[in-house]
Amino acid sequence: MLCGSATKLIGIDRLAQFLVDEAPAPTVGDGPAGAVVFKTIVDSYVGHVNFFKVLQGTIKHDDVLANGRTKGDERMHQLFVMRGKEQDTVTEVAAGDIAAVAKLSDTSTGDVLATKGARSRVESTDLPEPVLAVAIKARSKGDEDKLANALHRLQEEDLVLHIERNPETHQTVLRGMGETHLSIALEKLARKFGVEVDTEDVRVAYRETISGTAEAEGKLKKQTGGHGQFAVAWLRVEPKERGSGNEFVDAIVGGVIPKNFLPAVEKGVAEAEEQGGALGFPVVDVKITCFDGSITPSTARRWRSRPRRRWACAKRSRRRARSCSSRSASSSWSSRRRTRATSWATSTGSGAASRARRRSVAARSRSRPTCRRRRSSATPSTSAR
């Protein structure tokens, strides 16, 4: 910006000197064509419309220019000059003029278009970094589906806007150059794309770390039928420098833990770091060393033999239960016979009582359970039949 007064001739010399130093030379219209795209809008009917200023030469209808960023070719299908909302078609645009072109394949704000093979002296524009952020969400469920598309088209028009989705806080964050910049962007969302949004504060994604060294033992016991799984692994956790990231170190020697199992250990460590520690935030800047474990052949044999022993014990328990039930049934049957014999002997006399006792003895000998110790073959059985 140059300040001066034409009526009082203040600053006119500075203006003239500025034009000599900075303005294009009068001969720029004779060289190869070159232009810079300074604005892009998304029209609901036409699509992408790129506004450009011709810096050198003359751009004509259906000229093929090279994009300095993508190195691709762009055909200038239709040139027109914007007068408010009206479009006036033109056949050529000379140096210093501003025009627009639609339906370019891959051209955005800041790109330089020049004749193929010509060396462009125009440098690309460095975009500023946004300094203010706000979290947005759709006001109604019907706008949630349209919000993502509207934000994408909004960012194509204004490259300074940054849009990101934070997976930790589950917020959609819109970043811009200030409150005015963000308010204009939100107003354009509602006016041009028909999406109403609400704003809220951006939540901070906290992190955890440790300040000392600690060790812990992890065990795996898994039995799903057949051979079981058993493992023991020791982990050591140590702090690292801020911003250095996490590190997993394999310090297993001698094949105590097979190499094909270590990726599973590392995956479990990564999941534990992501879930967080005491406060539930991701753990960062730590060094975790797997330094000991045991999946030895003897341990595996003992673990594999456990299901068989359990099966044998269960079988013996069922056998004892059946023998005890048969024994209790035989005992109850013998007691009923003795009761009947005693009651009969009482009613008939002493001779009948002696015969009843002999019958009860014979019944007890026949009802002995089969699980008792067998007699030796050298000793004949004296039980009455």
Q: Is residue 324's pLDDT more than 80?
A: no
Higher pLDDT, 68 or 239: 239
Q: Using one digit for the tens of pLDDT, what is the confidence trace for 67-109?
A: 988 888 999 988 999 888 888 999 999 988 999 999 898 898 8
Task: Give the separation between CA 375 and CA 385, rounded to whole angstroms.
Answer: 16
Task: Please tell me the pTM assigned to this model.
Answer: 0.53
DSSP state of 84: T
Burial profile 184-206: b = 16 or more Cβ within 10 angstroms, e = fewer: ebbebbeebbebebeeeebeeee
Q: Using one digit for the tens of pLDDT, what is the confidence trace for 139-157?
A: 888 888 889 889 988 988 8
Q: Residue 302: pLDDT band by 50, 70, 90 thresholds?
A: very low
Task: Give the separation between CA 70 and CA 114, rounded to whole angstroms.
Answer: 12
Asked if 42 and 35 touch (Cβ cutoff 8 Å), the reply is: no
Phi, psi of 216 (to 5 degrees): -150, 155
Q: Which domains, and CATH codes, for the chain?
A: 22-115 (2.40.30.10), 132-200 (3.30.70.870), 214-295 (3.30.230.10), 300-366 (no CATH)
Q: Residue 64: pLDDT band by 50, 70, 90 thresholds?
A: very high
Sign of CA dihedral 113, 117, 122, 126: positive
Q: Is residue 188's pLDDT more than 80?
A: yes
Closest CA to 247 of 225, 228, 226, 270: 270
